[in-house]
Structure 1
Amino acid sequence: MFGPGSQFHALINDPRWALAMVRATVLEAAHPQIGAALLDNSTFVAHPWRRLKNTFLSMQRMFGADEQVRRREAARLNRLHARLRGTGADNRPYDAMDPAVRAWVVGTMFESAVTMCRLSGQPLEQKTMERLYVEFRAYLAAMGGEAGHLPPTLAEFWPYFDRVVEEELENTEAMRIILFKLFDHLPAPPVLSGFPALWATGRALAGPAIGAITVASLPEAFRRKTGLPEIAGAQTLMQGAYLAAGLARFLPDGWIQAAGIVDLLATSPHSDDPRARTITALGEQMKRAGALLRLLTPLPRQPEHEHTGDAPTQYSAQEFFTEVLDQTGDGYLDWPDLAAMARELAGRLDLDEPEETRLYNAYADWWRELQSALDTDGDGRVSAREYAAAVPSLAGPALIRVAEVLFDVTDKDGNQRIDADEYRALFQTAFHRDIATSGGTYERSAFVGEFLSFMSGRRRTTPFDPLLAQA
């Protein structure tokens, strides 16, 4: 069912899987409960690359061969989803632990995997399709999902899928954001942050194309129901994209590895990863070439600002609010934003109970402190203007408590110091050489001070910047 030899394992490194997952995400977001949960809690708008890496890592753990790893990941996901419940903008409740909702998520993944093969001219054989369906049902069972909410046989799955599309899916705001806004405004992945002009040009071309390809690949009944546009040539473009992606299977083994690509995209340009250093060096060469070209052109020279070669050491209040505090990208600071921070930190550290709950509780206390200090209009959230007017209030006792708890859960061996391995577990690709350490350790006071300096002083030179700010 899992690991090497499974049908899913054969698909995970297939380039077509990227197109299929975008399609599956749209079908998930069109479910009213999932769409509301995404809008209220997800970081997919402000931090899409981080979300991609976390999702891919979770799927690797769940579909890997190690049963113990799968059980721990299932328990972690269940704790995460249990915290995602509330009421959407339309006053309808949502609950990420709803068995029918969880079954639909798994169903969209399976159906999109089958569709990607069909659209690229390589339809799965019946036995292969049935085996893949058994594996996805096993995935749902490993999560603790109730078997009755996903039909027991493949023959019964297709009527189930059509019924949900016809009766339950809607033209949700989350779905529209994914299709028509996300790719048009997609931030550069961390490793390409030094190429803003190149990224903007590529995004302007690729964004609309990805949206058109995704729309064209969706079920006709769904497109008709939600009023999605019919774009001339979109079907041809979609089929060409799937066919081209399918041809990548003829490349030598190892050239297309999803795990390696995802890791590279999420890598900080300042990390120790040699691939990131290569890209950074290429960027410097491009800058020098651009400067030389400007010197050789007859155009009048523009005033130049002094350049030190280093990134600015401070955020502006607006930048810090947008890039760090507003994790969900809705323009406000509220509990889901701080919960997203706790979720990212707990995931990196692979925390179990009770440490995970300790971290969430510390962030919850900080949210209550922030709400009391900054929410001047009483609407239950903090706007960028309210934040800018009371920045010093960020560094209160509750934030200090967050720093203390974060140190405790990072210090796995409890020796009151963080060694290099523990440090890397938290910061991974953001392990900077310029962080002050003593004898390969990181003392509590220095760690707490660095965290407080970032969260209240808005310093850009700490390792927390790639951890919480990058896309």
Structure 2
Amino acid sequence: MATVPEGRAPSAPTPDGPPQPSARADAPTPGEPPQADATDFEHVLGPGSRFHTLFDDPRWALALIRATVLEAAHPQVGAALLDNSTFVTHPWRRLRNTLLSLQRIFGTSDDVRRREAARLNRLHGRLHGTDSRERPYHAMDPEARAWVVATLFDSVVTMHRLSGQPLAQEAMEQLYGEFHAFLAVLGDHAGHLPDSLQGFWQYYDRVVEEELENTEAARIILYKLFDHLPAPPLLTGVPALWAAGRALGGPVVGAITVASLPESFRRRAALPELPGAQTLMQGAYVAAGLARFLPAGWLSADGIMALLDMSPQSDDPRARTVTALQHRIKRAAALLRLLNPLPDPVPEPEDGPGAYTAGGAYAGAGAGSGAGVRRASETFFREVLDQTGDGYLDWPDLAAMARELSTRLDLDEPEETRLYNAYADWWRELQRALDTDGDGRVSAREYAAAAPSLAGPALIRVAEVLFDATDKDGNQSIDADEYRTLFRTAFRRDTAASAAAYSRSAFVGDFLAFMSARHRSTPFDPLLADA
């Protein structure tokens, strides 16, 4: 789990709303559509592009992990990830959103492409601060953005080479032109990527040799993320099975990724290379490349991500099938325990374990159970409020919530800014109520000591703004389609929703009950708590 180094000043909203970036002469103004040139992006980035063919290529998963490590090794990108990203606590959500964004950029519609670019620019414009060495970072920095695109291009080229299918020069030139167009869509025209492919490799080697560092964000991805990777929503019901698979797969993925990184960076960052890692890496890429011989449609990125992201309570028939399989696994495990019983567990204290039951109440935390309530509050703090996983509640955590909700609802201006501003108001209210030591952030202990203060006027305002953003037709109720857009499932009996509509009062009541930790197992649980 990521930690915040001592002395780092947490990012905080400005008096008029969320953190705003400083002006840059060479970057688009956050919140405004990027002013791209006259390139025919539909022709360059559409379904006929080389990059578009990678979405359903299983080798792309290995290449994307490699690119993410190289991105995180850049001081600016690594600092932004460490302070603001949910990639540690909510990696599946982050992966899904990244895939969705790339599909929009490399899709068929120029309007969708430009709209997504404007959204990305607004998102990046809100991410700025200083790293642990007091160096400023800004996610709109054009050199950092160019490096992110460079790592994607290089990782695709490396992916083909390691799997025994190197790209021809012409194909490589075409792919490089597509990534240049990607930057142009974002509005970056300053030429931070060289025009020629030959110039790119010189640029790439220079950045690797002179600018990359063994950042904390890169170390987390390599050595902590996969070892502690939370189960995707659909597999949360089989924790033992997931833990066993993760214990085996985590070190393997880490070793493969390290072996695929540039040798000069591995040497300078003192990254250990296990014996046989190079052979394992090449075998993994070759094996993934053989999947191209499978029947068409068997490997679909959309289908795989939809399945992994599916909640066990989803109305999708596939979820019911997997849930039934989970029940069979649990029954088999129970039978094994009967045949080979474990030692008697240590009894819980009288005030109970303080965990949530399936119905959302505190288990063992009755009216006089202060310790149980406190432990339950700390669980809610860790699973829901601490979105970035640094052990504290501060503005980046609430901004991550606003970012996820805005992405789900595909909000434009000004609705997106209204939601961010509502969360910023709530953060200021939380600081006044809970930050007892004045360090600009709220610890789990501070939160647990005054959890009821969460449900104040600012949180009610967040619920109201979220309802308005979800209620697209403005009829003061959320219908089935609007409900599915936000929660990715149909109306369920365990919510306050009727079969026809979800009223404003019911929506606001459920949101307040969830965000103040009074009730789990609401539709907001998979929205903000799942990985």
TM > 0.5 between the two? yes
In 2, Cα distance between equivalents of 1:142 and 1:38? 23
Cα RMSD of the aligned pairs, angstroms, is 2.0
Following superposition, the deviation at residue 296 of structure 1 comes to 4.9
Report if the CA contact (8 A) 1:271-1:431 is conserved: no
3-state SS, counterpart of residue 516 of structure 2: helix
Unaligned runs of 5+ in 1: none
1:234 paired with 2:268, answer no
Change (3 A) 1:166 1:296: closer
2:469 equivalent in structure 1: 409
Q: What one-letter code is carried by the residue in structure 2 that aligns with 1:63?
A: F
Match of 1:335 among 386, 395, 403: 395
Q: What one-letter code is carried by the residue in structure 1 that aligns with 2:60?
A: W
Following superposition, the deviation at residue 297 of structure 1 comes to 5.4
1:393 equivalent in structure 2: 453
3-state SS, counterpart of residue 43 of structure 1: coil
2:482 equivalent in structure 1: 422
2:38 equivalent in structure 1: none
Runs of 4+ in structure 1 over 3 Å off = 292-305, 307-315, 429-433
In 2, Cα distance between equivalents of 1:301 and 1:377? 42
Where does 1:125-164 land on structure 2 (aligned, <5 Å)?
Answer: 125-164=168-207
Report if the CA contact (8 A) 1:85-1:93 is conserved: yes
Report if the CA contact (8 A) 2:479-2:500 is conserved: yes
2:330 equivalent in structure 1: 287
1:325 paired with 2:365, answer no
3-state SS, counterpart of residue 114 of structure 1: helix
2:300 equivalent in structure 1: 257
Larger displacement relative to structure 2 (190-199 or 315-324): 315-324
Following superposition, the deviation at residue 408 of structure 1 comes to 0.9
In 2, Cα distance between equivalents of 1:192 and 1:119? 32
1:191 equivalent in structure 2: 234
Change (3 A) 1:412 1:387: same
Change (3 A) 1:417 1:202: same
Following superposition, the deviation at residue 438 of structure 1 comes to 3.5
**Once the two structures are superposed, what CA deviation does each residue of 1:209-259 show, in whole Å capped at 9, x if it has no partner?**
111100000001111111111211111111111111111111111111111
Q: What one-letter code is carried by the residue in structure 2 that aligns with 1:130?
A: E
In 1, Cα distance between equivalents of 2:346 and 2:114? 60
1:453 paired with 2:513, answer yes
2:93 equivalent in structure 1: 50
Q: What one-letter code is carried by the residue in structure 1 that aligns with 2:426?
A: W
2:6 equivalent in structure 1: none
**Once the two structures are superposed, what CA deviation does each residue of 1:400-420 show, in whole Å capped at 9, x if it has no partner?**
110111111111111111111
Q: What one-letter code is carried by the residue in structure 1 that aligns with 2:429?
A: E
3-state SS, counterpart of residue 78 of structure 1: helix
Change (3 A) 1:310 1:355: closer
Change (3 A) 1:43 1:125: same
1:33 paired with 2:76, answer yes
2:421 equivalent in structure 1: 361
Following superposition, the deviation at residue 292 of structure 1 comes to 3.4
Q: What one-letter code is carried by the residue in structure 2 that aligns with 1:362?
A: A
Change (3 A) 1:449 1:94: same
Match of 1:12 among 55, 65, 90: 55
Following superposition, the deviation at residue 300 of structure 1 comes to 8.5
Report if the CA contact (8 A) 1:327-1:337 is conserved: yes
In 1, Cα distance between equivalents of 2:504 and 2:283? 55
3-state SS, counterpart of residue 149 of structure 1: coil
Report if the CA contact (8 A) 2:491-2:497 is conserved: no
Q: What one-letter code is carried by the residue in structure 2 that aligns with 1:237?
A: L
In 2, Cα distance between equivalents of 1:282 and 1:69? 39
2:244 equivalent in structure 1: 201
Report if the CA contact (8 A) 1:212-1:234 is conserved: yes
3-state SS, counterpart of residue 242 of structure 2: helix
2:259 equivalent in structure 1: 216
2:494 equivalent in structure 1: 434
Following superposition, the deviation at residue 468 of structure 1 comes to 0.2
Following superposition, the deviation at residue 52 of structure 1 comes to 0.6
Report if the CA contact (8 A) 2:399-2:423 is conserved: yes
Change (3 A) 1:115 1:308: closer
Following superposition, the deviation at residue 156 of structure 1 comes to 1.1
Of Structure 1 and Structure 2, the greater helix share is in 1
Q: What one-letter code is carried by the residue in structure 2 that aligns with 1:143?
A: L
Larger displacement relative to structure 2 (339-348 or 411-420): 411-420
Report if the CA contact (8 A) 1:137-1:147 is conserved: no
**Once the two structures are superposed, what CA deviation does each residue of 1:306-352 show, in whole Å capped at 9, x if it has no partner?**
x9976766781111000000000000000000000000001100000
Report if the CA contact (8 A) 2:386-2:392 is conserved: yes
Following superposition, the deviation at residue 301 of structure 1 comes to 8.5
Q: What TM-score, normalized by structure 1, do the two folds share?
A: 0.96
2:353 equivalent in structure 1: none
In 2, Cα distance between equivalents of 1:50 and 1:335? 19
Unaligned runs of 5+ in 2: 1-43, 349-355, 364-374
Q: What one-letter code is carried by the residue in structure 1 that aligns with 2:71?
A: E
Change (3 A) 1:379 1:301: closer
Report if the CA contact (8 A) 1:14-1:249 is conserved: yes
Q: What one-letter code is carried by the residue in structure 1 that aligns with 2:391?
A: G
**Once the two structures are superposed, what CA deviation does each residue of 1:35-72 show, in whole Å capped at 9, x if it has no partner?**
00001100000100011101110011111111111111
1:275 equivalent in structure 2: 318
In 2, Cα distance between equivalents of 1:71 and 1:298? 60
In 2, Cα distance between equivalents of 1:366 and 1:414? 24
Q: What one-letter code is carried by the residue in structure 1 that aligns with 2:203?
A: Y
